[in-house]
C-alpha cells in the first residue's frame, strides 16, 4: 500500500501541521490535564516532492515515503482507548485537543477504531465534532479502510465521513479505492463514490484521475470530480491548469474543466481567469465559464466586467452580461439600460433583458416592467410579466393598475392586473 500525507480536507491539513509542530516542539498543554499517557507513536505517510505536471498529466518529481513510528495497538499504560479519548475530549483548547487526538489515533490498532468511534459519538464535546470525527475516519482509513467503510454502512449517522475515508484511501492506494467504488456501486446511474476517489488520486496522478472522470456520466458526481481536478491542477500552477483542457477531446467535458478551473481561479484572481477565457476561440466553451467570471469581476470593477463581456465570442456574451448587470445597475440604472441596448441581437439576449428587469424591479419598477416587452420568447415574457407585476402589486397594486392601463401589454396580463 502506498502511503501519503496528502490529505484532502483543509481541516486535516491544518491539524497535520499542528501535529508535526508538536512533535518537534514543546509538550501539549493537554499533558497538564492528565492526557500525557495517550501521546503515542507518530503517524506515517508520504510527502510530495516536485510541484508540476508533465505533458501527459503525471506528476513531475517523486513521492518520498517516511516512517516515523508505528501503531502501538492502544497500549497506553493502564489507560484504555475509551478512557484516553474521554480525557482528550475534556481539553478545552481546540488546538491542543486536535493535536492530542492525532497522536491518540496513531496509537490505535485497526481493530480498535470501531469501539473508539462508538465512544466518540456518546461523548459531549467541546469542539467541532465534525472535523474531529473526520480525523478519526481518516486515521482509520490509513489503518483499515474497508472496515471504516463497513462501519459507516452500519451507522448511517456517520455517512458524511464516507467521502473522507475514500479520499484518504485513494491517496494511499488508488487501485484499492477504485475497485471498492466500482464493486460497491449498483445500477446504471452515476457512481456516488467515484468523485471521492478522484479527489484522492488527483493530488498526485492527474492522468489517472482524468481517466476516471472521463468514464463518469454527466452528473453532479462528475462535476465534483472535475472540481477536485481543477483544484489539484491549480495547485501545480496556472500554466499546467490552463494547458490541461486542451488535452480533452470531448467539447462538453472540456467546457466543464474550463468552467471549474476558471471558477476556482476567479476566487483569487478574477482578471487572470477572465484573460484566459477571453483568449479562447470557442464560444461554446467560453459560455460555461463566462457568467461566473463576469460576476467576480463586476464585484471588483464593473468596467472591467463590461470589457470582458465585449471580448467574448457571441455565444458567451449573454451569460457574462447577465451576471454583470446586477452590480452595474446598483449605481446607474439608466446607464445600464443603455449598455443592455448595445447588446441587442446577441444570442441569448432574452437572458440579458431578464437580468436587467430583476436588477431594478424594486427601485425602478416602471422602467423594469417596460423592458419586459423586449423579451422575444412569448412564454418567457408572460412568466416575467406575471412574476414581476405580481410582486410589484403586493407592494402597490394601484401603481400596477395605472402602469398596465398606460402601456401596451398582452390582453391576459391587462385582464389580470386591471382588477
24-38, 108-122, 136-150, 238-252: segment of lowest average pLDDT: 24-38
Rounded CA-CA distance 193/331 in Å is: 47
- Which residue range is the domain that position 392 belongs to? 361-419
Per-residue DSSP letter, 299? H
Per-residue DSSP letter, 24? H
Helix and strand element counts for the chain (H, E) = 22, 2
Q: Answer yes or no: is 382 within a domain.
A: yes
The pLDDT, as a whole number, for residue 77 is 52
Rounded CA-CA distance 23/100 in Å is: 11
Q: Answer yes or no: is 4 within a domain.
A: no
Burial of 338 (0-12, 13-18, 19+ CB in 10 A): exposed
Average pLDDT in the 264-276 region?
96
Beta bridge partners of 60: 52
Rounded CA-CA distance 276/264 in Å is: 13
Please state, rounded to an integer, the average pLDDT across all residues of the chain: 84
19-28, 116-125, 166-175: segment of lowest average pLDDT: 19-28
Beta bridge partners of 65: 46
Average pLDDT in the 157-178 region?
96
The pLDDT, as a whole number, for residue 410 is 95
Rounded CA-CA distance 137/131 in Å is: 10
Q: Answer yes or no: is 71 within a domain.
A: no
- Is 114 a residue whose pLDDT tops 70? yes
Confidence of residue 78 (pLDDT cuts 50, 70, 90): low
- pTM for this prediction: 0.74
Q: Answer yes or no: is 5 within a domain.
A: no
Looking at the chain, the whole-number percentage of residues with pLDDT higher than 90 is: 74
Confidence of residue 68 (pLDDT cuts 50, 70, 90): very low
Q: How many domains does the chain have?
A: 1
Q: Answer yes or no: is 413 within a domain.
A: yes
- For 156, 233, 286, 319, 386, the CA distances from 197, given in Å and listed in that order, are 20, 16, 28, 33, 46
The pLDDT, as a whole number, for residue 6 is 37
Contact 134, 12 (CB under 8 A): yes
Phi-psi region of 151 (alpha: psi -120 to 50; beta: other; left: phi over 0): alpha
- For 271, 340, 342, 345, the CA distances from 353, given in Å and listed in that order, are 25, 7, 12, 11
Top pLDDT among 44 and 286 is at 286
Residues 6 or more apart in contact with residue 353 via CB below 8 angstroms: 340, 371, 372, 374, 375
In the structure grid, which three cell numbers stand for residue 119, read together?
465512544
- Burial annotation 271-283 (CB, 10 A radius, 16+ → b, else e): bebbebbbebeee
Burial of 342 (0-12, 13-18, 19+ CB in 10 A): exposed
Rounded CA-CA distance 74/138 in Å is: 17
Average pLDDT in the 329-350 region?
96
Rounded CA-CA distance 173/168 in Å is: 9
Q: Answer yes or no: is 411 within a domain.
A: yes
Burial of 32 (0-12, 13-18, 19+ CB in 10 A): exposed
Rounded CA-CA distance 157/5 in Å is: 27
Q: Answer yes or no: is 380 within a domain.
A: yes
Rounded CA-CA distance 285/184 in Å is: 34
The pLDDT, as a whole number, for residue 23 is 34
The pLDDT, as a whole number, for residue 116 is 93
- Is 110 a residue whose pLDDT tops 80? yes
Per-residue DSSP letter, 139? H
Contact 247, 57 (CB under 8 A): yes
Cα 360–Cα 277–Cα 323 angle in degrees, nearest 5: 10
Amino acid at each position: 500500500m502506498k502511503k501519503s500525507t496528502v490529505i484532502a480536507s483543509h481541516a486535516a491539513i491544518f491539524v497535520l501541521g499542528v501535529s508535526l509542530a508538536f512533535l518537534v516542539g514543546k509538550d501539549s498543554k493537554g499533558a497538564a490535564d492528565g492526557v500525557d499517557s495517550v501521546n503515542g507513536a507518530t503517524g506515517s505517510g508520504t510527502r510530495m516532492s516536485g510541484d508540476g505536471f508533465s505533458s501527459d498529466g503525471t506528476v513531475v518529481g517523486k513521492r518520498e515515503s517516511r516512517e516515523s513510528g508505528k501503531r502501538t495497538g492502544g497500549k497506553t499504560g493502564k489507560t484504555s482507548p475509551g478512557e484516553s479519548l474521554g480525557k482528550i475530549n475534556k481539553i478545552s483548547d481546540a488546538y491542543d485537543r486536535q493535536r492530542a487526538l492525532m497522536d491518540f489515533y496513531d496509537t490505535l490498532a485497526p481493530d480498535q477504531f470501531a469501539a473508539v468511534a462508538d465512544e466518540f459519538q456518546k461523548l459531549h464535546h467541546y469542539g467541532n465534532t465534525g472535523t474531529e470525527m473526520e480525523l478519526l475516519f481518516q486515521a482509520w482509513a490509513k489503518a483499515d479502510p474497508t472496515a471504516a467503510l463497513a462501519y459507516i454502512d452500519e451507522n448511517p449517522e456517520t455517512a458524511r465521513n464516507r467521502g473522507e475515508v475514500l479520499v484518504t484511501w485513494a491517496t494511499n492506494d488508488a487501485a484499492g479505492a477504485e475497485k471498492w467504488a466500482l464493486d460497491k456501486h449498483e445500477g446504471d446511474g452515476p457512481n456516488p463514490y467515484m468523485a471521492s476517489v478522484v479527489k484522492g488520486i488527483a493530488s498526485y496522478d492527474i492522468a489517472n484521475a482524468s481517466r476516471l472522470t472521463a468514464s463518469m456520466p454527466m452528473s453532479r458526481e462528475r462535476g465534483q470530480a472535475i472540481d477536485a481536478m481543477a483544484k489539484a491542477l491549480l495547485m501545480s500552477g496556472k500554466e499546467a491548469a490552463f494547458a490541461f483542457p486542451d488535452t480533452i477531446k470531448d467539447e462538453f467535458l472540456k467546457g466543464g474543466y474550463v468552467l471549474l478551473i476558471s471558477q476556482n481561479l476567479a476566487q483569487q484572481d478574477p482578471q487572470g481567469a477572465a484573460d484566459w477565457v477571453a483568449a479562447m476561440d470557442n464560444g461554446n466553451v467560453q459560455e460555461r465559464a463566462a457568467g461566473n467570471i463576469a460576476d467576480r469581476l463586476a464585484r471588483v470593477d464593473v468596467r472591467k466586467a463590461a470589457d470582458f463581456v465585449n471580448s467574448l465570442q457571441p455565444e458567451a456574451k449573454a451569460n457574462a452580461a447577465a451576471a454583470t448587470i446586477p452590480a452595474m445597475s446598483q449605481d446607474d440604472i439608466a446607464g445600464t439600460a443603455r449598455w443592455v441596448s448595445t447588446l441587442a441581437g446577441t444570442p441569448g439576449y432574452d437572458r440579458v433583458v431578464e437580468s436587467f428587469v430583476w436588477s431594478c424591479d424594486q427601485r425602478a419598477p416602471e422602467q423594469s416592467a417596460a423592458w419586459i416587452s423586449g423579451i422575444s420568447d412569448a412564454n418567457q415574457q408572460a412568466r416575467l410579466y406575471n412574476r414581476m407585476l405580481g410582486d410589484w402589486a403586493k407592494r402597490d397594486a394601484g401603481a400596477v393598475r395605472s402602469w398596465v392601463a398606460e402601456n401596451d401589454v398582452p390582453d391576459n396580463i391587462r385582464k389580470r392586473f386591471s382588477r
